[in-house]
Structure formats: structure tokens, C-alpha cells
Structure 1
Amino acid sequence: MFNYWRRSLSARLWVSSVATLTVSLCIIAGLVTFSLMHFPPQTWQRDADMRFAQRVAAALVFDANGRPSAVKLDQSTAWLYSAAKADLMYRVLDDEGRILLSSQPEQHHEQWGNGDLSGAADTHRDMDIDTRPFDLVTIEVRRGDAWFFVQSAISADIRKELLGLKVRSIPWIVAWTLLIAVVTFGFTLTFTMRRVLRPLRQSSRAAALITPFNLQARLSSEGIPSEIQPLISAFNEVLSRLENGFIAQQAFLASAAHELQTPLTLIRGQIEMQPEIKDKDLLYREVDLMSRQVRQLLHLTEVSETQNFKVQEVDCVAVVEDAVRYLFRKAQAKHVTLKVETLAAPSPIIADPSALFILLKNLIENAINVTPVDGSVLVKVGETSISVNDSGYGINPEYLPFLFQRFWRAPDANHDGAGLGLAICREISSAHRWAITIAPLAIGTAFTLWFDSAATSATSVA
């Protein structure tokens, strides 16, 4: 599982995107924190200083003559001016510089400076009160035709503390923002990647369904990203070449089998007509073996093309009985007992009766070949399966992966054959979506044809 995700394109894109976002946000957060920590506090506090003066101006109460008579601050601002008297001060002046209202005793005012304030409106000025640095903010207030000035003085110490309260919370805000952004981006990217890669998964599933029986199928390029379309096109071209090669191979096998059938018949006829030929039985055996191999090649060619099948409703028991009658003489010649046992009345199936006959004939014939003299072959017909049980010596487990390969024969086989019988069985069962299983018995082996492939549970499945 780990190796799968390590090689996964979506996982790589997800990790790289999230890592890029995380690094970018960390850099931004670092720059913000660096700026807050290293730039002068005045840069970040001047707007707050101006707001203190604006609060005082907004809290002015004017008398009937239009002159400021009192300052009614809100509770929090009034508490600040009361608790930090030595660090936070204000005064209100008229246009001639006379002090009308003040939060401090008069002895401090001479250090604030007096004179014409018309040019000092909306300005900041650094000054010292009792040798302590302050920021003096001056704003003008108009009442009718009269002009008044509000000045607010804030010490460097309290400005630093106020700024510290803001700055201390920023790293946590940045950290939580970073975490939420990364998590949200990660979840969003997951769904986005699934949507973007959906056409690739569909193409992958479509490619997995392509078999020798549907080589004419092609992968659709609809919805495929432009970067992947050349790969889809190349894969479809490979399928075309493979289809053409498969058609040529099937045509060659069919042609070769047809061309060999007639000469073999003529050879057998010539042997029968010439009495002077010795060891006729040996020659007949070889000619019959070659004829059998030619017939198997023809069968293999026919069953490899699904359009050759003519499906209809088939009675399994009748086909089994036909196959047993066909091979009865072969079993009798080997002194092998051939029996049929119907365990349950099977329902008719939809299949090609000739193909089913060939499949059962090959399984029964193989069972007769491997069964010793005076042995028995039992064909069991069930509701969803047909089992052929021989009484031979069993199958070497090492041979199981190769049994259904074309032209493969066991090294210790003691009967004639070309190694095509089980390959033909596999082609027929695959075309009908059946399954063939192999299971060892106490004596011999059971080959079972399952019409319901989901019910299989045996040693080997074809």
C-alpha cells in the first residue's frame, strides 16, 4: 500500500501542492513577523495615536456659545486616560492657542508647546515631557465658524505596550491561519485531483477489460488531459496492431488446418489401399494423431472468435450424455469405466451447444487418458456445475500454472496429444464467462466447469 501511494501521480501532485502552499505561507508569515518585530513601533502605532485624538474630539461637549465645555469619553477610553495619566494625556485649545480643557495639570502644558496651531492640524510631533518621549497628535475641530484644536500625547512606553499586545497575538493568528489554509487546501485539492484524474481511472478500467475477445475496443480520449492524450493514442495504435496480428494468426491457423486436413485423409486412404505396407497400425496411429491435432487447431481457431458462437438454450445433461457416448469406445478400449451422475436437475443455460460439447469432450478425454487400466471416470452434473473426476495419479502442483497454456504438455505425460485440449477449454469458458477449477481428490483430480463463476473456490481457476 505504501509503495502504491509513493508511486501515485495524485499523491505526488497533492504532496507537492500542499508543500508549496505551506512553504509560501510560511515565508509570508515570516516576513510579516520580521516586519512587526524590526520596524520602529511608530510605524505601526501612529494610526492608533491618531484614533485617540479623534475619540477625544468626538467626545467634546459644547456650551450654548459653541465653546467646548467638557469631554465625555466612552467607558474604556476614559479608563485608559485615568489609569495611565502619566502616559496618556489630552488637551483642547482654541484657535489662539488658549487651553480650554485638559486631562493634566497646567504645569505640563508648557512642555507641549504653544503658539499658532493652524499649521499643525492632523500632524504628529515627537516631544519630551519630564524627559520622557511622547508622540503629540494635533487635529482641528470646527464648530460653526469657530475652530478648535485637540491634542493627544501618548508616551513611547505605553505605545510600545499597546503595540506588544497586538504583535503578541499575530504569531498565533498566523499559525492558525496557516493550519486552516493548509487543511482546507488539502481537502479541496483531494477532491479536485479525484475529479481531474477520473478520466484516467476510467481509461485504466476500460484497458483492463480489453481481452483477445474484444480487441476491436478502443480507449476514449474524451475528457483526457492534453498531456495524456498522446499516451491514449499510442495505446490505441498498439491495440490496432495487436488486433491485426491476432487476426492474421487466426487466419493462418485456420488456413493451415484446412490445408492439412485433406492431405492427411489422402495419406490414410493410400495406406489402406496398399497391402504391401508394413506396420500399418503404427502409421494409422500417427496419421490419426496428426488429424486430431489439426481438428484441435480448427477448434482453437473457431472458439477464439466470439462471433463464431451460436448461443441458444442448452440442456447440460443432454450435452454430457452426448460427450460420454462419443468417448465410450475410447474408455472401453482402455478398460476405463465411464459413469454419469446427476446430483441435481440443472436449469437450461444459454450457450453454444457445440462449444460446450467440445469443452466437455476434452475434459472427459483427458480424464480417460490419465486414468489407469480398470480405473473409472465420473462425470457429476450439478445445478450450476459439471465436474469430471478421474482416478489417476494426480497433478504435480508445479504444473498447475501451465495446464491451460497452448501446446504445453507435462514432462511426465504418457499419452499422445498436442497440448491444446485444455487451452480450447479455457477459450470456451472465458467466452461464456464460465470458470474451470482444479481440485485434488483422495485418488485423482477433479476438473469442474462452473456456470456461475462467482461460486468457484478451488485450487486453480482458468
Structure 2
Amino acid sequence: MKIIKNSLARKIYLHFILIGSVVFTGIGVILHLFSMNYANLALEVSMKGMIEDVGDALHFEQQQLVYTPDNVIEKWGYDALYNNFAFRVLRAEDGQVLLQSVNSEQGSEALAALTDTIALGYSHLDGVDRFRTELTLDGQALLLDMARNDLITELANEAVIPALNRVTAITIFAAFGVFMVVGYLSVRSVVRPVKTVAGQLKQIKPEQLSFRLSNEGLPYEIQPIVDSLNQAMERVEGGFDEQKRFVANAAHELKTPLAVLNTRVQLADIAPQIREEIVNDVAYMSRVVQQLLDLSRAQNFVVYNKVPVSLSALAQEVCMMLAPLAVQFDKELSLDTEPGTAQILADKAAVHIMIKNLVENALKHSQDNAKIQVRVSATELEVSDNGPGIQSQFYDRLFERFWRQEQSTLSGSGLGLSIVKEVVDFHDAKLTVTCKNEQGGASFKVVFGEREAQPERL
């Protein structure tokens, strides 16, 4: 999945990273605090157990407080073995020390931390754990204090805790890495329906205005977009169909009156010069009407019927049909074909109209005594001439409807190349326009079996 700067996938993934960073940082902090609290709680419970054992081993003998421990090492382990703790017993009413235990230097240091102001319960001061509790022996109220040097904690701080911190950090970073990978795959899965819709849109061809996007299996949030696109395509299809019907109906309605008008002019008793001018005007209007019909048919992809077609045969038919026009314009029309019976899959009538418009365009817009050459191979058709070519500033307007290079002097309708473009688009062919060929004129080359979004300019 390619993630670009201004993409939905990038934004979602960044949110994943941000959320993951916050969550895993929070987990690390919580684990640290929990570990510290748990360690303190464990110390407190341990101290409470030890002081209860000491209290159980205290009793009075002849008014003297005596301490008789039982299996101290087994109960208190490391602290008893290394004399790491000390305790004392005070009379509650006056604070007099009745009994204290000092067995080592460590114990003396621990005992020094037992001040008179110790609060009941567990406390920690200067690396010494302290615990005070109240008890009653033979009716006397006593205070039992215990202190323990925190050697184990110091050892843990120096060796164990750093190792645990490293393990915790590695675990969190590894989990965060897994989270990022899972997040990436999740984002990819989330945006996949968008790519599916985009893929469907790219596959729509000009002749597929009736195509509708499928919203099956799409997320709820994307379905309104797909529905809106389908509705927009439906409106475009309706407007396009209405336009085609209008053009076709108007052309059909004009065709018969123009034929009648031409006949009446031929029979009318008017001056020959005026008759010729009127006949030329009527012929021009008839040509425009015919090209409107051709354009309407070229745009009506539903009626297209693709069958095996020989480009050479169609080009020969067109050249024979337009040979009188070449003679009328005093121009030379030639046809070069390759031997063979190769065919393309195309609509015969549409390709015939395309070739006819290309040749007519060359005949009408080339110079006097020009040479128009039609070259045909199995899948390629090229129409070229030797005069004046196409000015570069006019290239972008070649395929506009009703556009002519010189509106006042040319007799063309400006529809021929528009019709050519419609036929080329339907057949997924490639149209190449050479504004200045080797002879100085223009060339139009159509290659079937190749497709580009726009005509290529050379």
C-alpha cells in the first residue's frame, strides 16, 4: 500500500501510531507504578509477619520480659541469617525500653532508625524499613518496633530492577512494533473498498454510460458515495441520450426538406449563377445534416456490432467512392495496401465512416494539386497529404465539434474529426496526429488494438 502525504490511509495510520504511543506509554507507566506499589506492599506484609512472629516469642518471666525465638531462620530467611534486622519493646505509658535486639553492625544501623516518633504501621526512612505495632502482655500495654536494613532492595536496584526495566522496555517496544504492523494491515484493509470503487470507475469506457458501481460488501460510510456516483452517472446518461436523440431527430427532419429544396432549385426558372450558389449552399447543409447523423450514430455505442472487418477492403471502398471528389478538386488520391487477408474486430459501418471522414478532410483542406495517400496494413490506417499541414496552435482544437481552422473560407462543417475521435474511442484504438510530415502536410494514423486517453501528437 502506497501512502502519500494527503491520503486517508496516511491519516488513519498516523492516528494508529498516536493512539499506540499513548496506550503503550501509559501501560509502561502503569506497570512501573504497579511494580513499585507491589514492592512496597510486599515489604509491608513481610515486616508485619516478622513483627507478629517476634510478638509471639515475647513473654514475662518473674517480671522480666523475655524473648525466645523459634525457627527464626526458617521463618525470616535472609534477614535472620545475616542479622539484618533489629527490634525493641517499649512500655507504652512511658516509652521505657524493656527489650531490644542488636546482633550485628547492620542490626545496630537498623535500630538507630527507630526513633520515638515512629507512627503505627509500616514506614521507610533512609533505606531502613520500620514497623510499629501495639500488643498487651500480662495486662501491660507495650509497643513493639522493628527495623530492617533494605539490603535486598539495594541489590534489586543495582542488578535486578535494571534488568527488569530492560525486559519491560523490550517487551513494550516489541508489542508496539506488532501493533504498528497490525495497524498497517488494518488500514490497508479499511481503504481496500475505496480502491475497489476506484478500480470500477477506471474500467468505465465511453460506451458504458449505463454502467453502475456495485456497493455490495462496501462499508456503510462508503455506500452513500457510491450511490451518489451512480445517481450522477444516471443523470449524465440521461442528458447524453437526450442530446443524441435531439441531434438525430433534427437531422432526420432536415434531410428530406433539403432534398426537396434541392430538386425545386434545379427545376426553378432562375439565373444559372444564382441556381449554382443555391445548390452549393443546399449541398453544404445536406453534408452538415449527414455528418450530424454520422456523429449521432458514432456516439450511439449500443447499436455498434463488432465483426471481423478488413481495413484494406473498407479503405478501397472509400477511395472508390471519393475518387470523383478528388477529380473535382484536381487532387491525386492513392491507396497502398499490404497483401493478405488480415482482419480486425470492429463495427464495419463506423470504421467506414471514420475512413471516409479522414479522406474527405484531406481532400478538402489540402492545397491544389495535392497528393493524398492512404496506407493500410493489417491493423493500421494512415491518411496523409503534402500540403499545408496543421499549425501547432490549432492542434488542441482539432477534435472540437463545428471548429474549422478558417471559419469564413472553408466549406467543411467541423464535424469530421469529431466523428473520427468517437469511432477511435469506441474501438480502443490509438490515434496519432502528425502536424508536419515529411511532405510538409498532415498525417492521421489509427492503430487498432492500442489505446491512449488522448490523441498522440507528433
Q: How high is the TM-score relative to the length of structure 1?
A: 0.74
Aligned to 2:446, the other structure's residue is in SS state strand
Query: CA separation of 1:46/1:271 partners in 2, compared to 1, >3 Å: closer, same or farther?
Result: same
The code of the aligned residue for 2:177 comes to: V
Contact 1:87–1:158, Cα closer than 8 Å, also in 2: no
Query: CA separation of 1:41/1:456 partners in 2, compared to 1, >3 Å: closer, same or farther?
Result: closer
Aligned to 1:386, the other structure's residue is in SS state strand
Residue of structure 1 equivalent to 2:89: none
Partners in 2 of 1:239 and 1:457 — Cα distance?
Answer: 22
What is the correspondence of 1:126-275 to structure 2 with a 5 Å cutoff? Answer: 133-134=128-129, 155-163=149-157, 165-169=159-163, 171-275=165-269
- Residue from 441, 447, 450 that aligns with 2:447: 450
Partners in 2 of 1:40 and 1:181 — Cα distance?
Answer: 24
Query: CA separation of 1:395/1:226 partners in 2, compared to 1, >3 Å: closer, same or farther?
Result: same
> Deviations 1:176-216 (Å, cap 9, x if unpaired)?
33432332222212222222222221112212333441111
Query: CA separation of 1:47/1:380 partners in 2, compared to 1, >3 Å: closer, same or farther?
Result: farther
Residue of structure 2 equivalent to 1:17: 16
Query: CA separation of 1:454/1:159 partners in 2, compared to 1, >3 Å: closer, same or farther?
Result: same
Query: CA separation of 1:253/1:457 partners in 2, compared to 1, >3 Å: closer, same or farther?
Result: closer
Query: CA separation of 1:272/1:29 partners in 2, compared to 1, >3 Å: closer, same or farther?
Result: same
The code of the aligned residue for 1:447 comes to: F
The code of the aligned residue for 2:189 comes to: R
Partners in 1 of 2:351 and 2:288 — Cα distance?
Answer: 19
The code of the aligned residue for 2:251 comes to: A
Query: CA separation of 1:44/1:265 partners in 2, compared to 1, >3 Å: closer, same or farther?
Result: farther
> Deviations 1:300-337 (Å, cap 9, x if unpaired)?
11121222223322222111111111111111122211
Does the alignment pair 1:26 with 2:48? no
Residue of structure 1 equivalent to 2:40: 42
Deviation of 1:400 after TM superposition, in Å, equals 2.4
Contact 1:25–1:178, Cα closer than 8 Å, also in 2: yes
Aligned to 1:5, the other structure's residue is in SS state coil
Contact 1:344–1:381, Cα closer than 8 Å, also in 2: no
> Deviations 1:31-55 (Å, cap 9, x if unpaired)?
5446767x69634655788999xxx
What is the correspondence of 1:102-113 to structure 2 with a 5 Å cutoff? Answer: none
Residue of structure 2 equivalent to 1:306: 301
Which structure 1 residue ranges, 5 or more long, are not aligned? 53-66, 90-103, 113-123, 137-151
Does the alignment pair 1:7 with 2:1? no
Query: CA separation of 1:218/1:107 partners in 2, compared to 1, >3 Å: closer, same or farther?
Result: closer
- Residue from 315, 318, 323 that aligns with 2:313: 318
Partners in 2 of 1:242 and 1:459 — Cα distance?
Answer: 27
Partners in 1 of 2:431 and 2:238 — Cα distance?
Answer: 29
Partners in 1 of 2:127 and 2:26 — Cα distance?
Answer: 38
Partners in 2 of 1:107 and 1:333 — Cα distance?
Answer: 127
Moved more, 419-428 or 303-312: 303-312
The code of the aligned residue for 2:320 comes to: R
Contact 2:84–2:106, Cα closer than 8 Å, also in 1: no
Which structure 2 residue ranges, 5 or more long, are not aligned? 51-69, 87-102, 112-120, 132-145
Partners in 2 of 1:227 and 1:431 — Cα distance?
Answer: 35
Aligned to 2:5, the other structure's residue is in SS state helix
Partners in 1 of 2:454 and 2:413 — Cα distance?
Answer: 29
Contact 2:311–2:377, Cα closer than 8 Å, also in 1: no
> Deviations 1:108-163 (Å, cap 9, x if unpaired)?
79x99xxxxxxxxxxx97799xx983568xxxxxxxxxxxxxxx985224423424
Contact 1:345–1:382, Cα closer than 8 Å, also in 2: no
Moved more, 42-51 or 255-264: 42-51
Does the alignment pair 1:284 with 2:279? yes
Residue of structure 2 equivalent to 1:375: 370
Partners in 1 of 2:401 and 2:124 — Cα distance?
Answer: 102
Aligned to 2:389, the other structure's residue is in SS state coil
Deviation of 1:396 after TM superposition, in Å, equals 2.2
Deviation of 1:232 after TM superposition, in Å, equals 1.4
Contact 1:391–1:445, Cα closer than 8 Å, also in 2: yes
Partners in 1 of 2:80 and 2:180 — Cα distance?
Answer: 48
Residue of structure 2 equivalent to 1:401: 396
Q: How high is the TM-score relative to the length of structure 2?
A: 0.75
Instruction: Count residues in correspondence.
Output: 403
Contact 2:431–2:455, Cα closer than 8 Å, also in 1: no
Contact 1:370–1:390, Cα closer than 8 Å, also in 2: no
The code of the aligned residue for 1:168 comes to: P
Query: CA separation of 1:356/1:416 partners in 2, compared to 1, >3 Å: closer, same or farther?
Result: same
Partners in 2 of 1:51 and 1:420 — Cα distance?
Answer: 104
Q: CA RMSD in A?
A: 4.2
Partners in 1 of 2:106 and 2:237 — Cα distance?
Answer: 105
The code of the aligned residue for 1:11 comes to: R
Residue of structure 2 equivalent to 1:386: 381
Aligned to 1:437, the other structure's residue is in SS state strand
The code of the aligned residue for 2:437 comes to: L
The code of the aligned residue for 1:460 comes to: R
Query: CA separation of 1:281/1:170 partners in 2, compared to 1, >3 Å: closer, same or farther?
Result: farther
